[in-house]
A and B are shown apart, each in its own frame.
Chain A
Amino acid sequence: AQTVTQSQPEMSVQEAETVTLSCTYDTSESDYYLFWYKQPPSRQMILVIRQEAYKQQNATENRFSVNFQKAAKSFSLKISDSQLGDAAMYFCAPVFDMRFGAGTRLTVKP
């Protein structure tokens, strides 16, 4: 079975600080894409960043970056200079079978 694990149900970060959300997965696929989605209280899922598994270079999108380690099947999200608007549920979705992780609730303290 293919699984997605987000081991941190909740995380907290001080405004302007950096936080890393972890995600591990299991798959027998060799070529796939990985996504991090953000879901604020409005419940609208928004794509944060994507990573292509065949690329060794980690994806970066403004204050968001990933640490992708294919051999370890790890796909963590780093948020730099955290802002109050970053507070949300974050879901890891290594998309080989449309499964999502259980999510990490991020709180940003002013």
Chain B
Amino acid sequence: GAGVSQTPSNKVTEKGKYVELRCDPISGHTALYWYRQSLGQGPEFLIYFQGTGAADDSGLPNDRFFAVRPEGSVSTLKIQRTERGDSAVYLCASSLRRIANVNEQFFGPGTRLTVL
């Protein structure tokens, strides 16, 4: 596709449930990033993939959060035992390669997660 896509655009779940959020990066982009954005805040880094491997997962808040990118393209962010504090917009971005080598990130429209 022409840009980064994320599905679903909105997800409402109950406390304690498991959710998966999907990101389709721009074709050919090797780097993929997940961010969490709470209302009125800037994006908070969660995890960064270079290819299939998680190069930096230091932003994941706890072990309930996990992300995969098995074939180096689509990525899934998985949240177990959701809590109300997990409610936020989850943004995905991709770039040609690691951002420190200059390439800008292209962002998806985000998934708004609401935990009731």
B42 adjacent to A43 (CB under 8 Å): no
B54 shortest CB reach to chain A, Å: 13
- Told that A44-B109, A99-B45, A101-B42 touch, could you supply 4 new A-B pairs with CB distance under 8 A? A46-B107, A52-B102, A91-B43, A96-B100
Contact size range, B: 20 to 34
- Listed by A's residue number, 18 A-B pairs whose Cβ atoms lie within 8 Å are A32-B100, A33-B99, A33-B100, A33-B102, A42-B109, A43-B89, A43-B109, A44-B109, A45-B107, A47-B106, A91-B42, A98-B48, A99-B45, A100-B35, A100-B42, A100-B45, A103-B40, A103-B41
A66 shortest CB reach to chain B, Å: 15
Across the A-B interface, the 8 shortest Cβ-Cβ residue pairs: A45-B107, A100-B42, A98-B45, A102-B42, A100-B43, A103-B42, A95-B99, A47-B104
**Given A100-B42, A103-B42: A95 touches B109 (CB 8 Å cut-off):** no
Interfacial chain B residues near A73, Cβ < 8 Å: none
Interfacial chain A residues near B43, Cβ < 8 Å: 45, 91, 100
Measured CB to CB, the residues of B under 8 A from A are 33, 35, 37, 40-45, 48, 56, 59, 89, 91, 93, 99-100, 102, 104-110
Does A78 lie at the interface of the complex (its beta carbon under 8 Å from any beta carbon of B)? no
Q: How far apart are the CA atoms of A6 and B37 in the complex, in Å? A: 16
Majority secondary structure, A binding face: loop
A102 adjacent to B41 (CB under 8 Å): yes
Does A68 lie at the interface of the complex (its beta carbon under 8 Å from any beta carbon of B)? no
B23 shortest CB reach to chain A, Å: 14
A50 adjacent to B41 (CB under 8 Å): no
Mark out the residues of chain A between 13 and 61 whose CB falls within 8 Å of any chain B CB in the assembled complex.
32-33, 35, 37, 42-47, 50, 52
